[in-house]
Amino acid sequence: MVTGRRTLVLGGTRSGKSRYAEDLLPADAPVRYVATARRREDDAEWSARIDAHRARRPEGWTTVEDPDLPRLVRAGGDPLLVDDMATWLTGLLDDAGAWESAQVPPGVGAEVAELVDAVAACPGRIVLVSAEVGLGVVPPTRAGRLFRDELGAANAALAAVCDEVLLLVAGLPLRLK
């Protein structure tokens, strides 16, 4: 039973992390579902994944697609579910031109720090979903290593301010905190 105000749900691909996080919040009450994935018109399979996530949300939930995640978290209100941190961070890295840069642009770290501060001060219930990327092999590309390192650091910072942290493995939750 999850009882904290701030919960981070981690997991690998197809681990069940999103569904588990959704089940932590009441289906019959208002929830703001922050969908961080950006739709790409040239990728029908990605759009189908986004549509499948949207279709399984309860009718009373409101979907929010706003990249200013720190602002949304600070606003409080209804319980908030953020799915997921990996696609949010990808958008930040895209917008900052980090893939082509020799160093991670400082704005990326500042935005992540702002989000962590907002989560720490969040006045209401929040559930964050993120990919756990630190269990695999070292990526062969600079972009892969950059993403893994930045998401790992963001996950660790978020875990530090969350009341509860769970890791989903093969659909089973392991309580880390």
Q: How far apart are CA 13 and CA 20, in angstroms?
A: 13
Active site residue 53: yes
Task: List, for residues 10-23, the tens digit of each pLDDT value.
Answer: 999 889 999 999 99
Which residues on adjacent β-strands are paired with residue 130? 10
Q: What percent of the chain has pLDDT over 90?
A: 62
Measure the CA–CA gap between 28 and 60, rounded to whole angstroms: 7
Residue-wise pLDDT tens digits, 107-162: 999 999 999 999 999 989 999 999 998 887 888 989 999 999 999 999 999 999 99
Distance, in Å, from the CA atom of 79 to the CA atom of 47, rounded to the nearest integer, reads: 26
Phi/psi for 129 (5° steps) reads -115, 135
pLDDT for position 1: 52
Active-site choice (53, 72, 154, 165) = 53
For 152-166, the pLDDT digits (tens) are: 999 999 999 999 999
Tell me, what's the pLDDT at 14? 83
What is the DSSP annotation of 48-70?
Answer: HHHHHHHHTS-TT-EEE--S-HH
Percent pLDDT > 70 in the chain is 97
